[in-house]
Each structure stands twice: as C-alpha cells, then as structure tokens.
Amino acid sequence: MLITCPHCGARDRAEFTYGGDASVPRPELSDLDQERWADYVYLRTNPRGTLREFWHHVAGCRIWFIAERDTVSHKISATQALDDDGSAER
C-alpha cells in the first residue's frame, strides 16, 4: 500500500504512523480541566466511512499531515499538508 505524503510523494505504508482523529478539536493549552483533556485524548466515535486523520511520515520527512481515509476499505482518498500552526483547511 502506498500513501502520498504531501511533501515527498507516494511512499510505502511502512514509512508512516497513524496519529489519530483530526476532526476532534483540541482544548486550549491554557485549559486545565482534566476531564476535557481526557475526553480529547481517549474518547472516539469510531465511525464508518471517510475520516480525517493525522499521519506522520516518520521514516521520511518526519512531517505530520492530514489524510482522508475510509475506515472500512482503508483507502486514502486525499492527503493535505498542515499549516505552521498545525491546522489544515478543509
């Protein structure tokens, strides 16, 4: 299976690691509510269909990016670079 890194192009799946659901909004860093942070880190809905996810090209450029992956077929339909602030336009 090949994954297209937005910076390096198509590479083998073994060069990448999954980083989690990119659709869950992260609390502000100044937010000290432990329950809100626990929900952000651990609670997931595990939906069927296309999901925006963080992926890391760990054995390549070592840059995080967004991939749109079908959770049933595992086919990745698109990848997108992150902005400097870690966000990505939809």
Q: Rounded to the nearest whole angstrom, what is the least distance from the CB of residue 6 to Zn ion in the complex?
A: 7
60 is an interface residue for Zn ion by CB under 5 A:
yes
Q: What are the phi and psi torsion angles at 14 (to 5°)?
A: -65, -15
Q: Rounded to the nearest whole angstrom, what is the least distance from the CB of residue 7 to Zn ion in the complex?
A: 4
Q: CB neighbours of 80 closer than 8 A, spacing ≥ 6?
A: 6, 65, 66, 67, 68, 88, 89
57 is an interface residue for Zn ion by CB under 5 A:
yes
Q: CB neighbours of 33 closer than 8 A, spacing ≥ 6?
A: 27
**Of 30-38, 49-57, 69-77, 80-88: span binding Zn ion (CB under 5 A):** 49-57
69 is an interface residue for Zn ion by CB under 5 A:
no
